[in-house]
Chains A and B, each alone.
Chain A
């Protein structure tokens, strides 16, 4: 019996989300009296370092970075069988979201996505997950013997255990897929929104895409990712991939700074799990001030240069 953790490798390194998943997996294993096997699929990363985050064993599969859901799921399922995994942990990144349902189906396991808590095993196997696009949480009890948990990035502290893991090369390989990858375009040098610890977000109050340097300059100074409200992406001021909210991306960074966003219920749904929220708006009645920890009532065009200067100092 074991807890299997899918440790995703990107650009030759484990993702931060992979460390979160391994350290989460260790806590699950300690809870149910089991061992952690981390599955490192990819190239270049130092599999041994996963021991520090709680893995007892690391299974390594050397493959290129062409992820296809069908082929990867089959490989993860084969490893799960090999190590008799009863719980499989996958980070709920785009890759994880593609992978977790297929793995659950192949294993005939119960699936929970958007998981934000450790399991409660006092009465069955219950986890807390985000529902209603950030407006609520649910406690769901997983009934099957095997479970697949897709955990929300940025939800769990990365714990270190100072241990070393045994590394085993696996005989399992990633088979061919019916999906042919023609082109991959990664934005380099930019922090992915879902993984960012700090997010600076702009709304209609910025008046036009030409003023986005105010958002970008503050983001650069703070090492943050940039986001926007729905009207802004609908008007094509910013790409849809930056839209956070109920019908966009749900994020939970440590710090979310909303500039010129009123705070409609649909927007708040996507960001309300952020640890600290700052609202900057010239309308003192903007709903965002009710959901924020810190607020500045004033003109973004006067406030942002002050913030950028202070952040650079």
Chain B
């Protein structure tokens, strides 16, 4: 069993987002970077399945050298090896193309549901299409038995259970598992695990981010006396006209 987990490195969830250079660049000053929370689930469940089936888990990341501390974190969780494709990620399509070049021969390829920075949510489906593999989005369960993967996945207004016999791509959703916290032994071991740096093999060119903007600020809250809370309903009906 060979499993590949694709990871993103993203600003910590508490980051206040700002932009520089006339709103054309994300302001990285003072930003702490973390392993994308959904990818953390993908890595954890991938490891559990690899360990239960005598397999291995490889980490892949598309990005520059400053991502290596986060890649080492994924290794300290228990992954066997890591690959960093040395390219500045341009968009989900570029990332998927880069990963597809090294993704042959895996039984299961895992991603997070989406990265919490660019929120594309597309790498799972893109990889599936490029590699000609089925893709199963937003999974809350992955089990492996008798050569088949069983997934629970979120659908609009509910959940479904699907099985796939053979290699496939899936994206991790909350509830899949509790993220594994690296222990001291894992952290020590991660220092010497192989982290291979490979050159970029594609040019991207699907899209270009021109500018960014922040949501419009609210003009100020209108407070309603708690003893007359029922008035709120009247205001929402007749003033805001939203109910």
Give me the interface of A with B, judged by CB distance under 8 Å: 10, 15, 67-70, 73, 93-95, 97-102, 104-106, 110-114, 126, 130-144, 177-187, 190, 192, 194-195, 197-198, 222, 233, 240-241, 243, 246-248, 250, 254-255, 265-266, 272-273, 275-279, 289-299, 302-303, 306-307, 309-311
Contact = CB atoms under 8 A, between A and B. Distances in A.
A116 B234 CA distance: 30
B17 A292 contact: no
B16 interface: yes
B218 A133 contact: no
Contact of B157 (A105, A190, A233): A190
B209 A140 contact: yes
Contacts of B168: 178-179
Contact of B129 (A102, A198, A289): A102
A106 B96 CA distance: 13
B117 interface: yes
Nearest to A234: B174
7 contacts: A70-B135, A106-B129, A132-B119, A139-B211, A265-B14, A293-B218, A310-B230
B21 interface: no
Interface string B70-83: 00000000000000
Interface string B192-234: 0000000000000111111111110010011111100111111
B126 A105 contact: yes
B135 A184 contact: no
Nearest to B222: A294
Interface in B112-132: 116-126, 128-130
Contact of A276 (B134, B209, B229, B242): B242
A142 B207 contact: yes
A114 B91 CA distance: 14
A78 to B, nearest CB: 14
Nearest to B12: A266
A184 B164 CA distance: 16
A142 B209 CA distance: 9
B-side interface mostly: mixed
B93 A110 contact: yes
A111 B206 contact: yes
B210 A298 contact: no
B235 interface: yes
B240 interface: yes
Nearest to B226: A298
Contacts of A177: 134
Contacts of B235: 294
Contacts, number: 276
B207 A299 contact: no
Given A142-B206, A275-B242, A296-B224, A307 B126 contact: no
A265 B16 contact: yes
A187 B160 CA distance: 11
Contacts of A178: 133-134, 164-166, 168
Interface in B136-185: 136-138, 140, 150, 154-166, 168, 174-175
B128 A141 contact: no
Given A105-B126, A106-B129, A255-B243, A184 B160 contact: yes
Contacts of B223: 289, 294-297
Contacts of B209: 138-141
B92 interface: yes
Given A138-B209, A140-B207, A192 B232 contact: no
A102 B93 CA distance: 11
Contacts of A240: 140, 174-175
Nearest to A282: B226
Contacts of B136: 69, 179
Contact of A102 (B135, B159, B213, B214): B135
Contact of A247 (B96, B116, B126): B116
Interface in B1-41: 11, 13-14, 16-17, 19, 37-38
Given A143-B205, A248-B174, A295-B224, A307 B135 contact: no
B65 interface: no
B236 interface: yes
B10 to A, nearest CB: 9
A139 B209 CA distance: 6
Contact of A290 (B120, B221, B243): B221
Given A15-B156, A101-B126, A102-B126, 17 more contacts: A10-B157, A68-B134, A94-B154, A126-B210, A131-B117, A136-B215, A139-B209, A141-B208, A141-B210, A180-B164, A186-B157, A293-B222, A294-B223, A295-B224, A296-B225, A296-B226, A310-B233
